[in-house]
Chain A
Amino acid sequence: MSWLGRLANVLRAGKLEREIRRELEFHAAERADELRAAGLSAEEASRRARVQLGNPLLQAERTRDADVSAWADGAVRNLRHAVRRLGHAPGFALTVIATLALGIGANTAVFSALDAVLLRPLPFPEADRLVRLMQKQAESSETSIAPVRLRDWNQLNSSFRVISGYFVEDVSETSGDLPERVRRAFVTPGILEAFGVSPAQGRGFRDEEHRFGGPPAALVSDRYWRARLGASPDVLARSVRIAGKAVPIVGVMPASFRFPDREVDLWFPSPVDAKFAQSRKSTWYSGVGRLRPGVTLEQARADLAAVQSRLAEQYPDPDRTIGVELSPLKDQAIGGVGHSLWLLFGAVSVLLLIACTNIVALFLARGASRRQEIALRLSLGASRTAIAGLVLAETLLLAVVGGGLGLLIAGVATAALRSLGAELPRVDEIVVDGRILAYCSASTLGVALVCGLLPALRAMREKSRVASGESARTQVSARQPLQWTLVGAQVALSVTLLAAAALLARSFHELARVEPGFDKSRVLSFRMSGSWNETADYPALVARVDRTLQALRGLPGVEAAASSGWTLPGVPVEYESSFELVEARGDVGRRIVADARSVSPEYFDTMRIPLLDGERCTQRAVGPRGALVEWDAVVNRAFAARYLSDFPSAIGLHLDPEKSGRPGRVVGVVGDARERGIDRDPVPTVYTCLGAPNPTPYFVLRTSAEPLAMVRAVRAKMKEIEPQRSVHDVGALDERIDAAYTMRRLLTLLLLLFSLSALSLACVGLYGTLSYAIGLRRREVGLRMALGALRGDIVRQFLGQGLRVVGFACASGIVLALALRRVLAGLLFGVSATDASTLAFVVALVVVTAALASLVPAVRAARLDPMRVLRED
């Protein structure tokens, strides 16, 4: 019979069964005829004929089994059978489903985050060809590109379709009742071409709009259009009002275009031909370019390096010192969360593996109790593949139900992830969509296979026995090495996960205890809108910021106020610069690289960074173009110790930043503060005494009460003195520092959650396996007790059996944790990845928990009534 025929048999199983019955009935009728001919009564003849034929139902079934191949019909039948069987064991089924739902749910949720943040391309066409470009200067953190150099790169390179530049500022939009902070990006020509997007409404910038003095034009974001303009259909006739100037809106960008960051709502053309944009020393733009098709990043790197070396010949100063750095745009968008996400995904996959192992152990224990049934089936002629199919159908059914619930859990979990990790890059792109659905289905099937294969193979190896005398007990070996290995693996993996989680938790503990060198409590920080245009008149800008600080200090409840140019203390930002010590000029061996921070004189008092030597700095006059004619510098102790130790005092020395020829005088030495991040050791730092190096410095206020209680008063005051500006980025400093560690906190929390779940699963596995092992040895226990064994001996015996496995598992788990210690590199603080006390604590926790899990069945074994047990047979 062909496969088609078999399939047809499956589909019309009813007809087939009727045919078989007809065939058998014919046989019985013929036999009855014969018996009648031999002289029996008609009734007796037909009765005998039927008896001879055997049970007709069984006959029909067996005959049909020969016809219908196990594969397709079997699947349906197996599933129906599985439903029935699991219905008889609801506790087992629910345990497995819940375990799988949590395992698959957590795994899918973390995968959706991993997928959205790391795996998916940025939401632009052919986004893998987008490259970030920076100019790299020796011993400086400055990476922004001069407009003229960007133009040169564009003209001379052959790798990019276009290279565009942008910079961002926070300004006030004043078309409404209150000034509102809006982040705008100034962009050079070709930005839309680089991204391969066009406005959803209206048009991009025209050439003349990119010229200095050309017609004003603005593009607005989809969000801005909806939130601020009420999705008005006549948006192209409206305008935005910035710095008292109305700028007509020429287009609305699509919702997916959130560039350079998701806060940006306005795009303005940057006039690259302006006179003030012609200096090769200006540092304006971040670069973004689109590679030509077929050009690799390496080729582009070599190309731009060649271009830049030609420029270095043409313009030795400053191009000789400048290099080009290229990186995929996606790397920048993701930031540093990739490592953490992979780690999390690894952990959650281990958890799923543990869940599977647990389920395998459950199935094996259950399979042993099904041996009778399987043996019976085999002796009735069921094929081994059919038996395996039966077992696989059960796991598949459980996995599908568990996976379905897991998908629901994943949906809830991703929503939680989005709100918990709101600061994380691309977090708003996390969705449960077709891709995630596919992943979830694939992992469900994988889980079903992993969970079902071992038990199925076991069942297939079962010997065909007539289910007569032999009982299960006498056949089963009491050792179950496979089950114990699985339990051991679970415990070992939990130990490894717990070790990682404990080390991370310990790091957070250490982080909270660390003395940062400044006082982060009761500090309110915020920014005010400003425009880079203000830097055309630096003295006015400085005066404006000073005026604001004066007003803030006048507020009741404000103890001190200062401004900080680019950074907040403890919130990780690096800004490294090179300095030359004027007093040691000519000493070429003396290279000085330090963190450069620009702060107003009151910064040290406000942040409570102690002055160790010298005096507080004074803010000196600033030249018209922002040039520091004469300035005070304050260095920290680390700087003085590393670079100035061969001078009797640091005070009075002069530092020249990046060979500008305008050295500042060191007037004071302050204590070391963890400015670069609470988790990083203080580095040598030079503070430039200038509170307004840019139009939007941070303001920091030390308040006498809860800082956020001051927000209303601050806003009111600012409205009074600067009605055209908006206050934004308001927050308490300690919360901001916390926010900088969101990913790590999330990682720690989730890892703790996963590892504790893993431990509970492992304990359930241990408990189940031990209970099962004891169940098989009931008679032995009863016998020994009848012969005078003490209860304590019995408890010790089984507790020992459990703990021996746990001991091996802990050792392997720790070895695994040590082998994988690199994974945690960069995530730990104040504790090493091999910290003995943390690992010992983990082992102790696991051993105690495991002992409790083993104690219950062991004690139960000791409570057995020997007489009853022995009489059971």
Chain B
Amino acid sequence: MSSALSKNDILQGTLSLLVLKTLASQKRLHGYAITTHIQSVSDELLRVEEGSLYPALHRMEQLGWLRSEWGTTDKKREARFYSLTAKGRKQLELEEESWSRLTEGVGRVLRYA
């Protein structure tokens, strides 16, 4: 829908991996910080579409991978902070593994061709 804004649409299914990884390193972040973190760490290569982020966060919370609580930011704004649960950490391992397998597989195919 907002296709004009997201030149680098994140591959479907990788968003949760990125979110999990971000939260694993940063402990406790609100949604906006998650987008900026992914963007800066990926050197602006990846850009999280806001339209998908919040449904994804809430779905992951329902699946028990994340927990959330309301808190105050440095700018004294009310925000919802997300952090990883034990289940989320396990999920991260799974997704990292399947991701590396995927990239390796794709890489081999590319090299072969």
Q: Does B32 contact A (CB under 8 A)?
A: yes
Of chain A, the residue at the smallest CB distance from B56 is: A66
CA distance A252 to B30 in the complex (A): 83
| B55 touches which of A19, A27, A33, A66 (Cβ 8 Å) | A66
CA distance A719 to B113 in the complex (A): 120
> Which A residues are CB-close (under 8 A) to B2?
51-52, 54
CA distance A22 to B72 in the complex (A): 13
The reply to whether A27 and B78 contact each other, CB–CB distance below 8 Å, is no
Q: Does A67 contact B (CB under 8 A)?
A: yes
The reply to whether A63 and B55 contact each other, CB–CB distance below 8 Å, is yes
Q: Does B28 contact A (CB under 8 A)?
A: no
The reply to whether B32 and A59 contact each other, CB–CB distance below 8 Å, is no
CB A66 to nearest CB in B, in angstroms, measures 4
> Which B residues are CB-close (under 8 A) to A53?
50-51
> Which A residues are CB-close (under 8 A) to B64?
1
Of chain B, the residue at the smallest CB distance from A69 is: B62
Give the dominant DSSP class at A's interface. Answer: helix
The reply to whether B58 and A27 contact each other, CB–CB distance below 8 Å, is no
Q: Does A630 contact B (CB under 8 A)?
A: no
Q: Does B59 contact A (CB under 8 A)?
A: yes
CB B38 to nearest CB in A, in angstroms, measures 14
A-B contact pairs, 27 of them (CB 8 A): A1-B62, A1-B64, A19-B80, A22-B78, A23-B79, A23-B80, A24-B54, A26-B30, A26-B32, A26-B77, A26-B78, A27-B31, A31-B50, A33-B75, A34-B36, A51-B2, A52-B2, A54-B51, A62-B55, A63-B58, A64-B58, A66-B55, A66-B56, A66-B59, A67-B61, A69-B62, A381-B55
CA distance A31 to B75 in the complex (A): 13
CB B46 to nearest CB in A, in angstroms, measures 16
CA distance A63 to B80 in the complex (A): 14
CB within 8 Å for A26 and B55 given contacts A1-B62, A52-B5, A52-B50: no
Q: Does B110 contact A (CB under 8 A)?
A: no
* Contact mask for chain B residues 61-94; partner A; CB cutoff 8 A; 1 contact, 0 none: 1101000000000010111100000000000000
Residues of chain B at the chain A interface (Cβ within 8 Å): 1-2, 5, 30-32, 36, 50-51, 54-56, 58-59, 61-62, 64, 75, 77-80
Of chain B, the residue at the smallest CB distance from A64 is: B58
* Contact mask for chain A residues 290-316; partner B; CB cutoff 8 A; 1 contact, 0 none: 000000000000000000000000000
Of chain A, the residue at the smallest CB distance from B80 is: A23
CA distance A51 to B2 in the complex (A): 8
Of chain B, the residue at the smallest CB distance from A23 is: B80
Starting from the known contacts A26-B79, A59-B50, 16 additional A-B residue pairs (CB-CB under 8 Å) come to A22-B80, A23-B79, A27-B32, A27-B54, A31-B32, A51-B2, A52-B2, A53-B51, A54-B2, A54-B50, A59-B54, A62-B51, A62-B55, A63-B55, A66-B55, A66-B59
Of chain A, the residue at the smallest CB distance from B34 is: A27
CA distance A24 to B61 in the complex (A): 16
Q: Does A65 contact B (CB under 8 A)?
A: yes
CA distance A718 to B35 in the complex (A): 108
> Which B residues are CB-close (under 8 A) to A52?
2, 5, 50
The reply to whether A30 and B32 contact each other, CB–CB distance below 8 Å, is yes
Q: Does A756 contact B (CB under 8 A)?
A: no
The reply to whether A26 and B58 contact each other, CB–CB distance below 8 Å, is no
Could you count the A-B residue pairs with CB atoms below 8 Å apart for me: how many are there? 63
* Contact mask for chain A residues 33-59; partner B; CB cutoff 8 A; 1 contact, 0 none: 110000000000000000111100001
> Which A residues are CB-close (under 8 A) to B50?
27, 31, 52-54, 59
CB B80 to nearest CB in A, in angstroms, measures 5
CA distance A31 to B80 in the complex (A): 15
| A29 touches which of B5, B59, B77 (Cβ 8 Å) | B77
CA distance A59 to B36 in the complex (A): 19
CB B29 to nearest CB in A, in angstroms, measures 12
Of chain B, the residue at the smallest CB distance from A5 is: B62
CB B2 to nearest CB in A, in angstroms, measures 6
CA distance A65 to B58 in the complex (A): 9
CB B26 to nearest CB in A, in angstroms, measures 16
Give the interface centre of A27, A34, A64 by most chain B CB atoms within 10 Å: A27
Q: Does A20 contact B (CB under 8 A)?
A: yes
CA distance A60 to B75 in the complex (A): 24
CA distance A80 to B54 in the complex (A): 26
> Which A residues are CB-close (under 8 A) to B55?
62-63, 65-66, 381
Give the size of the chain A interface in residues (CB under 8 angstroms): 27
> Which B residues are CB-close (under 8 A) to A29?
77
Give the interface centre of A22, A33, A66 by most chain B CB atoms within 10 Å: A66
> Which A residues are CB-close (under 8 A) to B58?
63-64, 66-67
CB within 8 Å for A26 and B80 given contacts A54-B50, A62-B55: yes
* Contact mask for chain A residues 458-485; partner B; CB cutoff 8 A; 1 contact, 0 none: 0000000000000000000000000000
The reply to whether B30 and A66 contact each other, CB–CB distance below 8 Å, is no
CA distance A834 to B5 in the complex (A): 77
| A59 touches which of B30, B51, B56, B80 (Cβ 8 Å) | B51
CA distance A62 to B61 in the complex (A): 14
CB A398 to nearest CB in B, in angstroms, measures 32
Of chain B, the residue at the smallest CB distance from A20 is: B54
> Which A residues are CB-close (under 8 A) to B77?
26, 29-30
CB B112 to nearest CB in A, in angstroms, measures 34
> Which B residues are CB-close (under 8 A) to A19?
80
CB B83 to nearest CB in A, in angstroms, measures 15
CA distance A381 to B75 in the complex (A): 35
CB B105 to nearest CB in A, in angstroms, measures 27
CA distance A466 to B80 in the complex (A): 32
CA distance A69 to B62 in the complex (A): 9
> Which B residues are CB-close (under 8 A) to A54?
1-2, 50-51
Of chain B, the residue at the smallest CB distance from A1 is: B62
CA distance A53 to B77 in the complex (A): 18
> Which A residues are CB-close (under 8 A) to B1?
54
Of chain A, the residue at the smallest CB distance from B2 is: A54
CA distance A62 to B49 in the complex (A): 14
CA distance A63 to B52 in the complex (A): 9
| B31 touches which of A23, A51, A64, A66 (Cβ 8 Å) | A23
The reply to whether B31 and A1 contact each other, CB–CB distance below 8 Å, is no
CB A2 to nearest CB in B, in angstroms, measures 9
CA distance A405 to B32 in the complex (A): 55
Q: Which 5 A-B pairs have the closest CB atoms?
A: A66-B58, A30-B32, A66-B59, A54-B51, A63-B54
CB B10 to nearest CB in A, in angstroms, measures 15
Those of A810-839 within 8 Å (CB) of chain B: none
> Which A residues are CB-close (under 8 A) to B36?
34
> Which B residues are CB-close (under 8 A) to A66?
55-56, 58-59, 62
Of chain A, the residue at the smallest CB distance from B77 is: A26
CA distance A26 to B30 in the complex (A): 9
CA distance A590 to B62 in the complex (A): 91
* Contact mask for chain A residues 108-127; partner B; CB cutoff 8 A; 1 contact, 0 none: 00000000000000000000
CA distance A22 to B80 in the complex (A): 9
CA distance A33 to B74 in the complex (A): 13
CA distance A27 to B54 in the complex (A): 10
CB B28 to nearest CB in A, in angstroms, measures 15
> Which A residues are CB-close (under 8 A) to B59?
66
CA distance A66 to B36 in the complex (A): 23
